[in-house]
Amino acid sequence: MLQQKRWRFAILAILPTLAIFAWVRMYPIVETLRLSLHQWNILSKNKPFIGLANFRELFQDQLFLNALTNTSIIAFGVVILTVPTAMVIAGLIHHRTHSRFSGFYETSVFIPHVVSLVPAAMAWKWIFDAKLGPLNALLEFFGIPAQAWLFDPVLSVICIIILCSWQALGYAVLIYLVGFKNLPVSLFEAAKLDGASGVQRFWHVSVPMLKPITLYVSVVTLISGFNVYAQAFVLASDSQGAPGRQVRVLVLDMLENSFRNYRVGYAASEAVVLLAIVLVLTLIQFGILREKGRK
Protein backbone atom coordinates (compact mmCIF):
# COMPACT_ATOMS: atom_id res chain seq x y z
CA MET A 1 0.00 0.00 0.00
CA LEU A 2 2.70 2.43 1.09
CA GLN A 3 4.96 0.99 -1.57
CA GLN A 4 2.30 1.57 -4.18
CA LYS A 5 1.84 5.17 -3.13
CA ARG A 6 5.54 5.80 -3.46
CA TRP A 7 5.59 4.15 -6.84
CA ARG A 8 2.78 6.38 -8.00
CA PHE A 9 4.62 9.49 -6.86
CA ALA A 10 7.83 8.38 -8.56
CA ILE A 11 6.12 7.75 -11.87
CA LEU A 12 4.12 10.99 -11.76
CA ALA A 13 7.22 12.97 -10.86
CA ILE A 14 9.42 11.56 -13.58
CA LEU A 15 6.75 11.49 -16.28
CA PRO A 16 7.16 15.09 -17.54
CA THR A 17 10.94 14.77 -17.76
CA LEU A 18 10.63 11.40 -19.41
CA ALA A 19 8.13 12.72 -21.93
CA ILE A 20 10.39 15.63 -22.88
CA PHE A 21 13.36 13.30 -23.01
CA ALA A 22 11.60 10.87 -25.31
CA TRP A 23 10.40 13.69 -27.50
CA VAL A 24 13.57 15.73 -28.01
CA ARG A 25 16.21 13.06 -27.53
CA MET A 26 15.13 9.48 -28.09
CA TYR A 27 12.78 10.08 -30.99
CA PRO A 28 15.26 12.11 -33.08
CA ILE A 29 18.00 9.56 -32.42
CA VAL A 30 15.82 6.73 -33.65
CA GLU A 31 14.74 8.93 -36.54
CA THR A 32 18.37 9.52 -37.52
CA LEU A 33 18.98 5.79 -37.62
CA ARG A 34 15.81 5.22 -39.64
CA LEU A 35 16.41 8.05 -42.12
CA SER A 36 19.93 6.83 -42.81
CA LEU A 37 18.40 3.79 -44.51
CA HIS A 38 16.02 5.86 -46.63
CA GLN A 39 16.32 8.13 -49.57
CA TRP A 40 14.66 11.42 -48.82
CA ASN A 41 15.09 14.74 -50.43
CA ILE A 42 13.04 17.32 -48.58
CA LEU A 43 10.88 18.16 -51.58
CA SER A 44 9.45 14.74 -52.38
CA LYS A 45 6.76 13.14 -50.29
CA ASN A 46 7.82 9.52 -50.37
CA LYS A 47 10.93 8.22 -48.73
CA PRO A 48 11.82 4.89 -50.29
CA PHE A 49 13.78 2.40 -48.21
CA ILE A 50 17.16 1.86 -49.85
CA GLY A 51 19.01 -0.22 -47.28
CA LEU A 52 22.67 0.59 -46.97
CA ALA A 53 22.94 2.42 -50.30
CA ASN A 54 23.57 5.74 -48.53
CA PHE A 55 26.55 4.32 -46.71
CA ARG A 56 27.92 2.70 -49.84
CA GLU A 57 27.73 6.03 -51.63
CA LEU A 58 29.23 7.81 -48.64
CA PHE A 59 32.48 5.93 -48.81
CA GLN A 60 32.96 6.85 -52.45
CA ASP A 61 32.06 10.48 -51.90
CA GLN A 62 35.24 12.54 -52.15
CA LEU A 63 33.78 15.45 -50.21
CA PHE A 64 32.76 13.18 -47.34
CA LEU A 65 36.08 11.35 -47.27
CA ASN A 66 37.83 14.70 -47.27
CA ALA A 67 35.66 15.84 -44.37
CA LEU A 68 36.29 12.61 -42.47
CA THR A 69 40.05 12.93 -42.93
CA ASN A 70 40.13 16.57 -41.89
CA THR A 71 37.96 15.92 -38.85
CA SER A 72 40.09 12.96 -37.75
CA ILE A 73 43.29 14.96 -38.15
CA ILE A 74 41.80 17.83 -36.16
CA ALA A 75 40.47 15.56 -33.41
CA PHE A 76 43.72 13.65 -32.95
CA GLY A 77 45.81 16.79 -33.35
CA VAL A 78 43.91 18.47 -30.54
CA VAL A 79 44.38 15.47 -28.26
CA ILE A 80 48.10 15.23 -28.94
CA LEU A 81 48.55 18.93 -28.28
CA THR A 82 46.16 19.26 -25.35
CA VAL A 83 46.53 16.20 -23.14
CA PRO A 84 50.29 16.28 -22.39
CA THR A 85 50.25 20.07 -22.00
CA ALA A 86 47.27 19.89 -19.66
CA MET A 87 48.94 17.25 -17.52
CA VAL A 88 52.12 19.28 -17.10
CA ILE A 89 50.29 22.55 -16.46
CA ALA A 90 47.93 20.90 -13.97
CA GLY A 91 50.91 19.26 -12.24
CA LEU A 92 52.65 22.62 -11.91
CA ILE A 93 49.50 24.42 -10.74
CA HIS A 94 48.92 21.63 -8.22
CA HIS A 95 52.49 21.98 -7.02
CA ARG A 96 51.88 25.69 -6.49
CA THR A 97 48.44 25.31 -4.92
CA HIS A 98 49.46 27.53 -2.04
CA SER A 99 50.86 30.23 -4.26
CA ARG A 100 48.88 33.43 -4.12
CA PHE A 101 48.50 33.29 -7.89
CA SER A 102 47.02 29.79 -8.14
CA GLY A 103 43.52 31.22 -8.56
CA PHE A 104 44.77 33.42 -11.36
CA TYR A 105 46.43 30.47 -13.11
CA GLU A 106 43.32 28.34 -12.92
CA THR A 107 41.01 31.11 -14.07
CA SER A 108 43.06 32.28 -17.02
CA VAL A 109 43.70 28.77 -18.30
CA PHE A 110 40.00 28.06 -18.01
CA ILE A 111 38.60 31.26 -19.52
CA PRO A 112 39.12 30.19 -23.17
CA HIS A 113 36.96 27.16 -22.44
CA VAL A 114 33.95 29.23 -21.38
CA VAL A 115 34.01 32.21 -23.72
CA SER A 116 31.66 32.00 -26.64
CA LEU A 117 33.12 30.22 -29.60
CA VAL A 118 32.61 32.83 -32.24
CA PRO A 119 34.19 35.85 -30.53
CA ALA A 120 37.13 33.70 -29.46
CA ALA A 121 37.55 32.42 -32.99
CA MET A 122 37.43 36.02 -34.15
CA ALA A 123 40.42 36.86 -31.97
CA TRP A 124 42.40 34.04 -33.55
CA LYS A 125 41.28 34.96 -36.99
CA TRP A 126 42.95 38.31 -36.47
CA ILE A 127 46.11 36.63 -35.15
CA PHE A 128 46.30 34.35 -38.18
CA ASP A 129 45.31 37.01 -40.68
CA ALA A 130 47.78 37.02 -43.55
CA LYS A 131 48.01 40.77 -44.01
CA LEU A 132 47.00 42.30 -40.70
CA GLY A 133 47.77 39.56 -38.22
CA PRO A 134 50.47 39.77 -35.57
CA LEU A 135 51.59 36.19 -36.21
CA ASN A 136 52.94 37.00 -39.65
CA ALA A 137 54.37 40.25 -38.38
CA LEU A 138 56.18 38.30 -35.70
CA LEU A 139 57.46 35.76 -38.21
CA GLU A 140 58.73 38.48 -40.50
CA PHE A 141 60.44 40.10 -37.54
CA PHE A 142 62.48 36.91 -37.26
CA GLY A 143 63.04 36.78 -41.00
CA ILE A 144 60.58 33.98 -41.70
CA PRO A 145 58.39 34.63 -44.75
CA ALA A 146 54.72 35.37 -44.06
CA GLN A 147 52.27 32.52 -44.55
CA ALA A 148 48.70 32.51 -45.81
CA TRP A 149 47.60 30.74 -42.64
CA LEU A 150 43.90 30.52 -43.32
CA PHE A 151 44.06 29.79 -47.04
CA ASP A 152 46.68 27.09 -47.26
CA PRO A 153 44.92 23.71 -46.99
CA VAL A 154 47.46 22.32 -44.53
CA LEU A 155 48.03 25.47 -42.50
CA SER A 156 44.33 26.17 -42.07
CA VAL A 157 43.85 22.74 -40.50
CA ILE A 158 46.73 23.52 -38.15
CA CYS A 159 45.07 26.83 -37.26
CA ILE A 160 41.87 25.01 -36.34
CA ILE A 161 43.84 22.55 -34.22
CA ILE A 162 45.50 25.44 -32.37
CA LEU A 163 42.19 27.21 -31.77
CA CYS A 164 40.48 24.01 -30.57
CA SER A 165 43.39 23.10 -28.30
CA TRP A 166 43.43 26.56 -26.80
CA GLN A 167 39.79 26.04 -25.88
CA ALA A 168 40.05 22.40 -24.80
CA LEU A 169 43.05 22.94 -22.56
CA GLY A 170 41.14 24.55 -19.67
CA TYR A 171 38.76 21.64 -19.32
CA ALA A 172 41.59 19.08 -19.38
CA VAL A 173 43.60 21.04 -16.82
CA LEU A 174 40.59 21.22 -14.53
CA ILE A 175 39.96 17.47 -14.68
CA TYR A 176 43.65 16.76 -14.10
CA LEU A 177 43.66 19.11 -11.12
CA VAL A 178 40.87 17.07 -9.55
CA GLY A 179 42.93 13.97 -10.30
CA PHE A 180 46.06 15.39 -8.70
CA LYS A 181 44.11 16.37 -5.60
CA ASN A 182 42.84 12.81 -5.23
CA LEU A 183 46.26 11.18 -5.48
CA PRO A 184 47.39 9.67 -2.17
CA VAL A 185 49.90 12.01 -0.53
CA SER A 186 51.67 9.12 1.20
CA LEU A 187 52.86 7.78 -2.13
CA PHE A 188 54.64 11.02 -2.94
CA GLU A 189 56.19 11.23 0.49
CA ALA A 190 57.51 7.69 0.12
CA ALA A 191 58.96 8.57 -3.28
CA LYS A 192 60.47 11.71 -1.83
CA LEU A 193 62.12 9.72 0.97
CA ASP A 194 63.53 7.37 -1.63
CA GLY A 195 65.15 10.40 -3.19
CA ALA A 196 62.96 10.84 -6.26
CA SER A 197 63.19 14.33 -7.72
CA GLY A 198 60.13 16.38 -8.61
CA VAL A 199 60.37 15.42 -12.24
CA GLN A 200 60.90 11.76 -11.37
CA ARG A 201 57.90 11.82 -9.06
CA PHE A 202 55.79 13.36 -11.81
CA TRP A 203 56.93 10.83 -14.40
CA HIS A 204 56.99 7.66 -12.29
CA VAL A 205 54.19 8.31 -9.80
CA SER A 206 51.72 10.87 -11.14
CA VAL A 207 51.64 9.81 -14.78
CA PRO A 208 50.86 6.12 -14.13
CA MET A 209 48.45 6.94 -11.29
CA LEU A 210 46.54 9.39 -13.48
CA LYS A 211 46.12 6.94 -16.35
CA PRO A 212 42.31 6.62 -15.96
CA ILE A 213 42.02 10.41 -16.05
CA THR A 214 44.28 10.64 -19.09
CA LEU A 215 42.07 8.10 -20.80
CA TYR A 216 38.91 9.98 -19.88
CA VAL A 217 40.26 13.37 -20.95
CA SER A 218 41.58 11.95 -24.22
CA VAL A 219 38.27 10.35 -25.13
CA VAL A 220 36.22 13.43 -24.23
CA THR A 221 38.58 15.68 -26.19
CA LEU A 222 38.54 13.32 -29.17
CA ILE A 223 34.75 13.18 -29.20
CA SER A 224 34.36 16.92 -29.05
CA GLY A 225 37.03 17.15 -31.73
CA PHE A 226 34.94 14.99 -34.02
CA ASN A 227 32.05 17.40 -33.51
CA VAL A 228 34.08 20.44 -34.52
CA TYR A 229 32.07 22.90 -36.55
CA ALA A 230 31.94 26.49 -35.33
CA GLN A 231 35.72 26.84 -35.30
CA ALA A 232 36.00 25.69 -38.89
CA PHE A 233 33.06 27.85 -39.89
CA VAL A 234 34.54 31.04 -38.51
CA LEU A 235 38.23 30.55 -39.15
CA ALA A 236 37.99 29.23 -42.64
CA SER A 237 35.27 31.40 -44.07
CA ASP A 238 36.52 34.41 -45.91
CA SER A 239 35.82 37.67 -44.16
CA GLN A 240 35.39 39.49 -47.44
CA GLY A 241 32.25 37.63 -48.40
CA ALA A 242 33.86 35.44 -51.04
CA PRO A 243 33.19 31.75 -50.62
CA GLY A 244 36.54 31.19 -49.02
CA ARG A 245 38.33 27.92 -48.84
CA GLN A 246 36.43 26.04 -46.21
CA VAL A 247 38.06 23.36 -44.20
CA ARG A 248 35.48 20.66 -44.69
CA VAL A 249 34.55 18.94 -41.44
CA LEU A 250 31.95 16.24 -40.80
CA VAL A 251 29.24 18.41 -39.27
CA LEU A 252 29.61 21.00 -42.01
CA ASP A 253 29.36 18.36 -44.72
CA MET A 254 26.33 16.90 -43.00
CA LEU A 255 24.52 20.23 -42.75
CA GLU A 256 25.36 21.06 -46.33
CA ASN A 257 23.95 17.77 -47.60
CA SER A 258 20.82 18.23 -45.57
CA PHE A 259 20.03 21.90 -46.06
CA ARG A 260 21.76 22.85 -49.26
CA ASN A 261 21.47 19.65 -51.28
CA TYR A 262 18.22 18.58 -49.59
CA ARG A 263 19.47 15.03 -49.15
CA VAL A 264 18.30 14.37 -45.62
CA GLY A 265 18.62 10.59 -45.70
CA TYR A 266 22.17 10.90 -46.94
CA ALA A 267 23.00 13.44 -44.24
CA ALA A 268 21.48 11.12 -41.64
CA SER A 269 23.81 8.35 -42.75
CA GLU A 270 26.72 10.73 -42.12
CA ALA A 271 25.35 11.35 -38.65
CA VAL A 272 25.30 7.60 -38.11
CA VAL A 273 28.97 7.40 -39.08
CA LEU A 274 29.72 10.13 -36.55
CA LEU A 275 27.74 8.20 -33.95
CA ALA A 276 29.65 5.03 -34.75
CA ILE A 277 32.98 6.83 -34.23
CA VAL A 278 31.84 8.18 -30.89
CA LEU A 279 30.53 4.77 -29.82
CA VAL A 280 33.79 3.02 -30.71
CA LEU A 281 35.80 5.61 -28.78
CA THR A 282 33.56 5.26 -25.74
CA LEU A 283 33.68 1.47 -25.86
CA ILE A 284 37.48 1.56 -26.05
CA GLN A 285 37.50 3.76 -22.98
CA PHE A 286 35.22 1.45 -21.01
CA GLY A 287 37.10 -1.60 -22.26
CA ILE A 288 40.46 -0.32 -21.03
CA LEU A 289 39.02 0.83 -17.71
CA ARG A 290 37.38 -2.53 -17.08
CA GLU A 291 40.55 -4.40 -17.93
CA LYS A 292 42.35 -2.29 -15.39
CA GLY A 293 39.69 -3.00 -12.81
CA ARG A 294 40.11 -6.74 -13.26
CA LYS A 295 43.84 -6.72 -12.65
CB of 129 to other proteins, least distance (A): 8
**Stretch of 58-66, 74-82, 95-103, 148-156 contacting other proteins, by CB under 8 A:** 95-103
Question: Helical H runs in 129-249?
Answer: 134-141, 153-182, 185-193, 198-201, 207-209, 211-226, 230-235
Q: How far apart are CA 245 and CA 236, in angstroms?
A: 6
Which of the stretches 43-51, 56-64, 105-113, 148-156 binds other proteins when contact is defined by CB under 8 A? 105-113
**Which residues from 17-76 bind other proteins, rule CB under 8 A?**
17-18, 20-21, 23-29, 31-32, 35
Q: How far is the CB of 80 from other proteins (least distance, A)?
A: 18
Candidate list 52, 63, 144, 178; residue touching other proteins; CB under 8 A: 178
In single-letter form, the type of residue at position 200 comes to: Q
Number of residues that bind other proteins (CB under 8 A): 103
Query: C-alpha dihedral over 194, 199, 205, 206, to 10 degrees?
Result: 150
- The nearest distance, CB 208 to other proteins, in angstroms, is 18
- Report the residue number, 77 or 225, with the smaller CB distance to other proteins: 225
* 59 vs 238 by CB, closer to other proteins: 238
- Of residues 77 and 133, the one with the C-beta less far from other proteins: 133
Question: In Å, what is the CA distance from 47 to each residue of 29, 42, 239, 265?
Answer: 18, 9, 39, 9
Is 63 or 280 the residue whose CB approaches other proteins more closely?
280
Q: Counting contacts by CB under 8 A, is residue 187 touching other proteins?
A: no
Shortest approach of other proteins to residue 149 CB, angstroms? 14
Q: Residue 173's Cα: distance from chain center in Å?
A: 15
Whichever of 65 and 117 has its CB closer to other proteins, that residue is 117
Binding positions for other proteins, 233-292, rule CB under 8 A: 233-234, 237-241, 251, 254-255, 258-259, 264, 267-268, 271-272, 274-275, 278-279, 282, 289
Which H or E run contains 164?
helix 153-182
Exposure class string for 236-249: b at 16+ Cβ within 10 A, else e: bbeeeeeeeebbbb
CB-nearer residue toward other proteins: 77 or 266: 266
Q: Would you say 154 and 245 are in contact if contact means Cβ atoms under 8 Å apart?
A: no
Amino acid (one-letter) located at 253: D
C-beta neighbour count of 165 within 10 angstroms: 23
Question: Near other proteins by CB under 8 A, which window of 54-62, 70-78, 131-139, 150-158?
Answer: 131-139
Footprint of other proteins on 74-93 (CB under 8 A):
89, 92-93
Q: Is 144 in the site for other proteins (CB under 8 A)?
A: no
Q: What gap in Å lies between CA 26 and CA 31, rounded to an integer?
A: 8
Which residues 111-130 are close enough to bind other proteins by CB under 8 A?
111-112, 114-120, 122-127, 129
Q: Please, which residues bridge with residue 41 across strands?
A: 263
